[in-house]
Amino acid sequence: MPEKNQASPRLKLILIVAFCTLPSLAEAAAVIWGERQGYTGKALRDGLDFWAGGFLYLHHQLPVLLNHTAYQSFLQGMYGHLPYHLWSYPPSYGLIAAAFGWLSPWAAVLSFDALSLVLMAAVLRLARKSWWFIAAMLLAPATLENALEHQNAALMTALIGGGLLLAQTRPRLGGALIGLASFKPQLGLVLPLYLLRHAPLAFFYAALAAVALAGASLWAFGQAAWAGFYHYTSPIMSNVLLTGQPKDFAGGLISVFATTKPLAGLHGAFAAQAAVTLACVLAALFIRSVPAMLIFSALASPYLHVYDLLGTSLAVALLVERRLAGDGFKAGEPVLFFLVWFGPGLLPWHPAYAHLAPVLLLLLLASAMRRGGVQPCDSSPAQPGSPALPAGPLPIPAPPESITHG
């Protein structure tokens, strides 16, 4: 192919990727403005929970971490009035957060964000993806939204997405990566049977890594941490789905459950989500396409937020890569790929997109599974044109930096 013909699709993709960053860049400007106005606690968003969880785990403050009133008081004592915050993760994730808990809040969350992106880029490169592909992923709206929220989707995409890409060629590493993602099990519901059927060695290493991570957190924090998770944290998070409260948690859900609940009620939403989840789990026994598995992971989860769509952004990038490599685009596919890619950046400005997300995921799944689509577990190099609880609390130590109320 002449160089001019190769450059044209690449330039179009670069312009599309750049255009799709604009909503998130505008949102970032608002966050920076809020920080400069003294609203540090609000500007930290979910990163405040990441830092606080790590800080409290590191200083053995389980009674504060596992009591929402004490936890909220701890945060408001630093930052004044805040939206509702809640630690919602198992101790295995607390082990990761504690590694950053000795830093100041901003240093902790920014370090975690940066290292997560480096890991995602490294895993994709190990899976033989081009630098164009990696750059597109780093600039994806879902990546930017994840960074603005200081959430863990980049880490999850590195672990699950990278693990799936490597499961056939490097099953030990691929399986271990997937096992380390066990701190967020709702995004891995479809993976055990898939690995057991298609990559048994990777399944073994995934199980080994998951057990090792849980065991390390048990050794570090003790039985009280896991008892508190099962008896306090887990029921609270289940109650979010049942009651829709607090709205700061339930209001941002974009899953099949969240979309069908206003139309079919609680029981109808549970039935719809259960049917979709079961279908995704069973389909994983027969389908080996990595993009399809990433889409299954999102559809199967009842607890899905906008930043969790980073995995489906990886699916879009893989599909575009394959289409450019020779499969070609069917009618409507470019528009579909654009909507799925652009959606996470658009959602904070137009919340109605949340109701469209499951429909787009189903259409994307149909595209991933169409005849002549992505081959099983493809990790071939990208073409040049690719896009890319103790008896009582101990005294709480002073945080790493003094904070003024905002």
Inter-residue contact 89 to 53 (CB < 8 Å): yes
Q: Is residue 305 part of a domain?
A: yes
The helix-helix angle for 353-369 and 333-346 (nearest 10°) equals 140
Residue-number span of the structural domain to which 182 is assigned: 3-369
Q: Is 305 exposed, middle or buried (0-12, 13-18, 19+ CB in 10 A)?
A: buried
351 part of a folded domain:
yes
- Asked, for residue 164, whether it belongs to a domain, the answer is yes
Residue pLDDT tens, the chain, 406 long:
444 555 677 788 889 999 999 999 999 998 899 888 888 888 898 999 999 999 999 999 999 999 888 999 999 989 988 888 889 899 999 999 999 999 999 999 999 999 999 999 999 999 999 999 999 999 999 999 999 999 999 999 999 999 999 999 999 999 999 999 999 999 999 999 999 999 999 999 999 999 999 999 999 999 999 999 999 988 888 887 777 777 766 667 899 998 898 889 989 999 999 999 999 999 999 999 999 999 999 999 998 999 999 999 999 999 999 998 887 889 999 999 999 999 999 888 888 788 889 999 999 999 999 864 444 444 444 444 444 444 455 566 667 654 444 4
Residue 208 placed within a domain: yes
d(CA 225, CA 63): 10
Report the amino acid identity of residue 269: A
* Structural domain count, the chain: 1
Q: Establish if 376 belongs to a structural domain.
A: no
95 occurs within a structural domain: yes
Helix then strand then coil, % of the chain, to nearest 5: 70, 0, 30
> Are 184 and 155 a contacting pair, CB within 8 Å?
no
Give the type of residue at 251.
Answer: G
Q: Is residue 397 part of a domain?
A: no
Cβ-based neighbours of 293, under 8 Å, separated by 6 or more: 164, 190, 191, 194, 284, 287
Burial class (CB in 10 A: 0-12, 13-18, 19+), 37: exposed
Per the domain annotation, does 11 fall within a domain?
yes
pTM above 0.75, yes or no: yes
DSSP output for 184-218: SGGG-TTHHHHHHHH-HHHHHHHHHHHHHHHHHHH
Q: Which of 348, 383, 33, 83 is closest to 75 using CA atoms?
A: 83
